[in-house]
Structure 1
């Protein structure tokens, strides 16, 4: 089943809309504008900070995944070998291409 038409977000990305039956978000990759890229970079840095309380991570992860449209951005941040820099995390996440099943 196809998702509804995508709408352009203020950040320059095209954000998908939820398919009511499955709840998946469909995204089409485009370039991030500078303020949105800066926010994504700040979120990566905040999430990598060991001092951040666990109860504050969920909202940040959700925002980062929404900005980047990459469901495995956390894996890129914490489980990639060799470890990626904060900027490399953003670049790799932007390469993500969703696929239809």
Structure 2
């Protein structure tokens, strides 16, 4: 069984070369993780794209079961992957 209070981060694009890279985040700290991946410092608005070097989109209930899911997209397949790896390896996380 899994814990519903966990924040899940998943790279949603296959390895290799491509035009974009997608990372999906879900759970109570999804916005916090997304904020650490972007340079955006304002609030994320539901179903509105926030453009920085990484585009972040917040989806909330009734669209998602967890009521909070982020999708981060960046140009180049490995761009968000590297940001996620560095952020999750950081001691403050």
Q: Which has the higher strand share?
A: 2
Q: TM-score, normalised by structure 2?
A: 0.26
